[in-house]
Structure 1
Amino acid sequence: MNKVKHKILRSYITSSGKIPFLEWLNNLKDPHTRLRIRRRLDRLELGNLGDCKSVGEGVLELRFSFGPGYRIYFAELDNIIAILLCGGNKSSQKKDIKIAKLYWQDLKERSNE
């Protein structure tokens, strides 16, 4: 029997101190939407990835089946810590994936300094 591995969630912080994921989440107009996304993050913390796929270079995409197809991009450290990189929706998916990969690369480079 496989034991569920809980995750520790952290948000990526840019070198200038911005937190892109929280900025995106806080800019969502509908409080019910924000609540649904936060509940999904609660499940992620419990190790339940749900509808999730790799988009390459170590970045994963959590997909939501409501609204405009919300997405959250994150990366994992040691299969324990999930770094929330940014969020978006289906219409901005390609751009968001590129940005998430840049954020992940930046974090790895700054961690090695």
Structure 2
Amino acid sequence: MRDKLAQARIRERLRRVQAGNFGDCEPVGEGVIELRVHVGAGYRVYFGRHGGALVLLLSGGDKAGQSDDIRRAKEHWSNWKRRQT
């Protein structure tokens, strides 16, 4: 990603998530949550929560590739959960 402003905003959003403030996010199915970053191309970060403490980052992208990014995040989440059993 070349957009330095977008990089900074994404890092800031991830710091907020780390502090427990999830802000603008929406479940997209199968336990995957989409965190929206309103800058540039409309960046998205996908994550899952396990228990009360763990937030696992799965993938990211922008609005243009949203469907593929969600599919990929769901695959990563499913694979991670399968390895936990």
Q: Where does residue 63 of structure 2 map in the other structure?
A: 90
Correspondence 1:61 to 2:34: yes
Contact 2:9 2:37 in 1 (8 A): no
Partner secondary structure for residue 63 of structure 1: strand
Instruction: Please identify runs of 4+ aligned residues in structure 1 that moved more than 4 A.
Output: none
Quick one: which amino acid aligns to residue 46 of structure 1? A
Q: Which structure is richer in relative contact order (CA contacts within 8 A, separation 6 or more)?
A: 1
| TM score, norm. by length of structure 1 | 0.72
Please, what TM-score do these two structures have when normalized by structure 2? Answer: 0.94
Higher Rg: 1
**Over aligned residues, Cα RMSD in angstroms?**
0.9
SS in 1 for 2:66: helix
Count the aligned residue pairs: 85
Q: Which runs of 5+ in 1 are unaligned?
A: 1-27
Where does residue 51 of structure 2 map in the other structure? 78
Aligned-residue identity in percent = 46
Q: Describe how 1:1-113 pairs up with structure 2 within 5 A.
A: 28-112=1-85
In 2: Cα distance, 1:102 partner to 1:48 partner: 25
Distance 1:37 1:97 in 2: 18
Q: In the TM superposition, what whole-angstrom CA distance separates every residue of 1:27-68 from its partner, at most 9, and x where no partner exists?
A: x11223211110110000111111000000000000111111
